[in-house]
Copies of this chain bind each other. A is one copy, B any other.
Amino acid sequence: MRATLMYAAGDVRVETVPDSIIEQPTDVLVRVTASCICGSDLHPYHSLPAKAGPARMGHEFIGVVEEVGADVTTLTKGDLVVAPFAYSDGTCQFCRAGLHTSCEKGGFWDTLPQEGGQAELVRVPLADGTLVKLPVAPDSELVPSLLTLSDVYGTGYHAAVRGGVSAGKSVTVIGDGAVGLLAVLSAQQLGAEQIILMGRHQSRTDLGREFGATDVVAERGEEGVAKVRDLTGGHGTHVVLEAVGHMPAYEQACGVVRPGGTISRVGVPQYEEAPVGFTSLFGGNITLTGGPAPTRAYIEQLLPAVLDGTVQPGRVFDRTINLDDVPDGYRAMDDREALKILVKP
């Protein structure tokens, strides 16, 4: 089978590797029909040391069940399924609490060195807990939107939920990538009154306005902070959804959050230490929350509005490529030439 491997920062290759196979009785083998490249894939694309590679890539996919392990009870060959970006058993105390990313038996795809979504086949562990059946055909025009349930829509939604977005709240979204734009959509769904999108790519922020952004701030750093404060009576917003993961975005979040407010991070932090003391978080009773989204927890909830077309999160995809073109896809996303790329094997 063909699969994507990252050998080191900037070095992505699509190669022929041994076919994935069922290993555990709780596994399912999925033939991928649609996958994508994630903004978070760009982090190793910038920094993966050569000695750590090659790593299989891709953690968002839709596919058809090709083979079913002996203990799998809810899936059969031929089912179309969507996979969240973490696998989970669905039964442990953390899954039951809706925190599937902390599943006692689960993990992220990168903990499975021989699997990845940017490939033809994927072995899915704990398949009953992990996968969700989709009531459409693999070539449905809803596929792009359904594929966002793997990660970016659920991640934007998680940011908004953990941030406590509700009717009447003011929200700043930092980052105009796919997660940022879907955080805007999510904040709008949860009733936010004012949604300020901080981003500087106009085609993206235009889509953000369609998703519900009431204001766009293209400036960054201190200038951007001042602009958001101007738009909010000087105090900043109740909630900040941070969808980038770099330190300047964190600092910006601290600058635009209102006293008593919440910064909800879903951009994977590319730093370990950050300011949290009296002048940054503590003095103003600022809450810092967020983390890897348990997107599995949100799929059933978000699915109906995707299926009936009420929301179209798949609009974040602005390019479709074949699996063999994935290396150029990384380049295009890294150059900000493409917002989010759908991959057809």
Contacts and interface: CB of A to CB of B under 8 A. Distances in A.
Chain A interface category by residue count:
35 or more
Contacts of A289: 285-289
12 contacts: A162-B287, A269-B282, A272-B276, A272-B278, A273-B277, A281-B291, A282-B292, A285-B289, A285-B294, A286-B291, A287-B287, A289-B289
A291 B280 contact: no
Contacts of A93: 235
A39 interface: no
Contacts of A291: 281-286
A53 interface: no
Interface string A84-111: 0000000001100101011000000000
A171 B202 CA distance: 47
B260 A102 contact: yes
A290 interface: yes
B276 A274 contact: yes
A62 B94 CA distance: 47
Nearest to A104: B235
Leading 10 A-B pairs by shortest Cβ distance: A285-B291, A272-B277, A102-B259, A287-B289, A99-B260, A288-B288, A269-B277, A273-B273, A274-B276, A282-B291
Contacts of A259: 94, 99, 102
A221 to B, nearest CB: 19
Interface in A244-266: 259-260, 265
Contact of A285 (B102, B260, B271): B102
Nearest to A276: B274
A160 B270 CA distance: 31
A301 interface: no
A72 interface: no
A279 interface: yes
Contacts of A162: 285, 287
Interface in A15-60: none
B268 A278 contact: yes
A272 B268 contact: no
Contacts of A274: 273-274, 276-277
A78 interface: no
Contacts of A272: 275-280
A284 B281 CA distance: 20
B271 A277 contact: yes
